[in-house]
Amino acid sequence: MMQAFDYKKQILEPIKSLRGAPREEMYVPGHRTCAGCGPALNYRLVAKAAGKDTIFIGPTGCMYVANSSYLCTPYAVSWIHSQITNGGAVASGIEAAYKTMARRGKYDGPFPNVICMAGDGGSVDIGLQAMSGLMYRGHDVLFICYDNESYANTGIQTSPTTPYGANTTFTPPGKAIPEGKTLFPKDPPQLVIGGHPAVKYVATTCVSYPLDLMNKVRKALNVDGPTFLHMLAPCPKGWKFDEKLTLEMGRLAVETGMWTLYEWENGQYKYSHIPKTYKQVSEYMKYQGRFTHLKQEHIAKMQAFVDEKIQRIKAIAVEAPIPTPKAKA
Amino acid sequence: MAIKVPKDREVPFGAITPAPVRQQELFMTSNWRIVRPVIDHEKCTRCFTCYIVCPDSCWSYNEKDDQMEWNWKFCKGCQLCINECPADALTAVPELDFEDGVVRLEKPF
Amino acid sequence: MAQEKMLSGCAAAAQGAKFAEVEVICSFPIRPYTAIMMELARMVANGELDAEFVHGEGEHAQVSVALGASAAGARAYTGSSGVGVTYAFEVYSPAAGGRYPLQMAIADRTLDPPGDFGSEHTDAMSARDQGWLMGWAATPQEVFDNTLINYRVGEDPRVMLPQFVCQDGYFLSHIADKVILPDIAQVREFLPPYKAPHPLSPLCPVSHGPQIRPDQGAPMDAQRAMTFLEVPKVIEEATDDFNRLFGRNYDPYLEKYKMGDAEIAFFIQGAHANTCKAAIRHLRDQGVKAGMVRPRWIRPWPTTQIAEAFSQVKAIGTVESSTSYGGATRGGNLIHELRATLYDMGNRPLITSFMAGLGGDVILLEDFYYMAKILMQMVKEKKTHQLVYWVGFEEE
């Protein structure tokens, strides 16, 4: 008989300091990701925050191929590969199975955290349909878009989150098209917010703010129903910057307004790490080889796009930032 | 009709493998690095930054000795920890300066 | 208590899923299979079936949801027709290679372009190389029975494969006939609960589907091919048990009709076989020694059983309700595998094919008489003139 059932869900406590973060690694050393890989660090922090009662769904992408070569994975928790097209759907099936197995007494362990770790393509391009279906149906699943702003695994091709003006192998700059990419990116959290009534929590994160990131993961897991995290994960190979600067790129993204850290919960926006004065986008772009071909007029276009985004934030109250490691002087 | 798969080419049932526990020994990446991070324990403030920023979890805290410990087997030499350390306790030193320096192989593995 | 009901193929499939106590269902509407899902939705809403009814956002999602559910350890059920079947294509190999024994009911339908609701086998046939179990039913009773048998075979630890349980759209899916529904206790004796060998679980962490090296690809394929060597034994055991528990009389692989002394024979799958049998009775009244072999499984293809069934026949006509454009016969599909099956026979029969039942066409008794006439001519002249006849389209 279908009836309300008390699923044994854990409540995860906020992490107060780096020292206080759980020491167990659920994403262990031994994977073929590039040195300094932003998505890999992102995965590690997510897995750490989620803990051992977790099932990951890994749509095809860097966080599949680079992580799981060959016939071995770095996931100390259960994990399943999905097609790049169907991360949201496979996650839905797993969650539905646990709901019914728990209800029938076929499974009496802790209700697992079901987390889909999809790249930008697997979230809002080829995977958009499945992601939206999941959000609509109200499954208790955390859908994460780790955004390295391209189809990186296949050799850096443009995706709907690739910034305007980026050089990718499908948007190379040339005589006829000097800026390379001419399209402005989709805004993944905005695709989810407001249009999916079952979703109660959406947030953005950046690897450069690890405590903020881990706490948002925990908050999302604690919320009942589908949740969405848009996580900036700088990619040294795709963005063409020195691999030791991964966290620096994340900070500059926030400090220039290219990336905004916020939470949306039950209709309310809460922002964090809002700069008192925004740096110019050129401060961010100058480190990245994918932008070096741009002329002044292109950078100005990018600045205008970011300025418009920032205007919409300025009106809203800023929340006190959560402690984060200091940047080098 | 009899098919026999050579042992070194075997694939487990349904391509389902056990999960690793603490490390994935089948994929050691020590031979990727050209430099390794060397720690000055005096300067180190035990802030745990290096621990949190490594994508390969190569820094851990040794409670007993109150020291940060480095994982020789997996460090790729990306220098994120060196770049982020707020106390300047980490320096990049060429890998081949060390007795146990890992020689770069011609093939990746 | 067993009860007898008048059920269409769709209703019978839904009853099969209900008796199989499926745990996760994923729906998406497309004619003509939709009625299966509507029936299941009604059962779930009324509390007759305790399952998660997931509204998939498309057929690709349906198979993906079912795959995830199966990986987590739940018995999963889904279905489709026509272009829905081809839309889900990407997920078929992952489901079979990942060894997730979900079940997909297919009420077949002609593929676009353009829209055509009529029955044709091409949709499911196009997926026959993906590594699933597959077969067509001929009656609503068989649809119900196949639902249970396929779960039993598919979930067997020696098999662990997903199954396509197929039926003719409209002719079977929407026409009612007598179905005996068993007692749930009998079903539970026949079909144990599904137990995944390595479920995705927090209790025992596993990794499903890490990337492999190219040199491991062929061994992966070989592993999947070798499984099909195990399947026949499981089919035989399951069919024996089924017959015993439910009082049926199925041959594990084939329905053989008047093959004892047949000189000409039809090789036909699905519901049009019922018309074929009526035609055979009439032909026999005219003194024609006709017979029929209807495969109940085409994956695995029952090679030895088919060869044995046709060992004394002089001419065979495959009835093709699916297309293989540009194929060896410029016609259908069954003839290729039948010719391969019988090639090494000493004194092998003549084999031709008849395109019939495409697009939603009824196959009339007259069509079977036409086919029989051609087969008899072949026997008389000891010669095959054409490898394919498009019934109703040939110049006289």
* CATH code of the domain containing C385: 3.40.50.920
Is there a domain that residue C269 lies in? yes
Q: Which two tokens stand for residue C100?
A: 């997730």
Is there a domain that residue C360 lies in? yes
Q: Please give the tally of structural domains in chain C.
A: 2
Do C241 and C258 lie in one domain? The reply is no
pTM: 0.95
Question: Given pLDDT bands bounded at 50, 70 and 90, which one contains residue C113?
Answer: very high
Per-residue pLDDT tens over the stretch A123-148: 999 999 999 999 999 999 999 999 99
Is there a domain that residue A292 lies in? yes
Do C200 and C303 lie in one domain? The reply is no
Do C280 and C359 lie in one domain? The reply is yes
- pLDDT above 80 for C38: yes
Residue of B5, B17, B19 with shortest CB distance to C222: B5
Domain with C19, as residue range(s), is 3-246
Question: Given pLDDT bands bounded at 50, 70 and 90, which one contains residue A329?
Answer: very low
Is there a domain that residue A119 lies in? yes
- pLDDT above 80 for A322: no
Per-residue pLDDT tens over the stretch C288-318: 999 999 999 999 999 999 999 999 999 999 9
Question: Given pLDDT bands bounded at 50, 70 and 90, which one contains residue C18?
Answer: very high
Is there a domain that residue C395 lies in? no
Do C275 and C386 lie in one domain? The reply is yes
Number of C-beta neighbours around residue A271 at 10 A: 17
Alpha-carbon span A258 to A307, nearest angstrom? 9
Is there a domain that residue A180 lies in? yes
Do C155 and C300 lie in one domain? The reply is no
Which chain B residues contact residue A27 at CB under 8 A?
57
- pLDDT above 70 for C87: yes
Which chain A residues contact residue B79 at CB under 8 A?
36, 243-244
* CATH code of the domain containing A80: 3.40.50.970
Per-residue pLDDT tens over the stretch A181-207: 999 999 999 999 989 999 999 999 999
pLDDT of C395 reads 79
CB A196 within 8 A of CB A136: yes
Do C192 and C211 lie in one domain? The reply is yes
Residue A81 in contact with partner chain C when CB distance is under 8 A = yes
Do C24 and C119 lie in one domain? The reply is yes
Per-residue pLDDT tens over the stretch B21-69: 999 999 999 999 999 999 999 999 999 999 999 999 999 999 999 999 9
Number of C-beta neighbours around residue A80 at 10 A: 26
Q: Which two tokens stand for residue C289?
A: 């020694």
CB C290 within 8 A of CB C283: yes
Which of C212, C246, C280 is at the close of a domain? C246
CB A147 within 8 A of CB A231: yes
Cβ contact, residue pair C208, B1, below 8 Å = no
pLDDT of A315 reads 61
> What is chain B's alpha carbon radius of gyration, rounded to the nearest angstrom?
18
Is there a domain that residue A328 lies in? no
Strand partners, C7: C177
How confident is the prediction for chain C on average, in pLDDT? Answer: 97
DSSP three-state, residue C12: helix
Is there a domain that residue C329 lies in? yes
Q: Please give the tally of structural domains in chain A.
A: 1
pLDDT of A325 reads 46
Domain with A213, as residue range(s), is 38-314
Which of C180, C213, C246 is at the close of a domain? C246
Is there a domain that residue A239 lies in? yes
CA distance B1 to chain A (A): 28
Do C182 and C213 lie in one domain? The reply is yes
Question: Given pLDDT bands bounded at 50, 70 and 90, which one contains residue B106?
Answer: low
Is there a domain that residue A10 lies in? no
CA distance B24 to chain C (A): 12
Residue B84 in contact with partner chain A when CB distance is under 8 A = yes
* CATH code of the domain containing C20: 3.40.50.970
ipTM of the shown complex: 0.94
Task: List domains and CATH numbers for chain B.
Answer: 33-97 (3.30.70.20)
CA distance A265 to chain B (A): 27
pLDDT of A5 reads 78
The answer to whether the Cα torsion of C342, C220, C234, C74 is positive or negative is negative
Per-residue pLDDT tens over the stretch A105-120: 999 999 999 999 999 9
Do C49 and C125 lie in one domain? The reply is yes
- pLDDT above 90 for A326: no
Phi, psi of C294 (to 5 degrees): -115, 115
Do C200 and C304 lie in one domain? The reply is no
Alpha-carbon span A44 to A113, nearest angstrom? 15
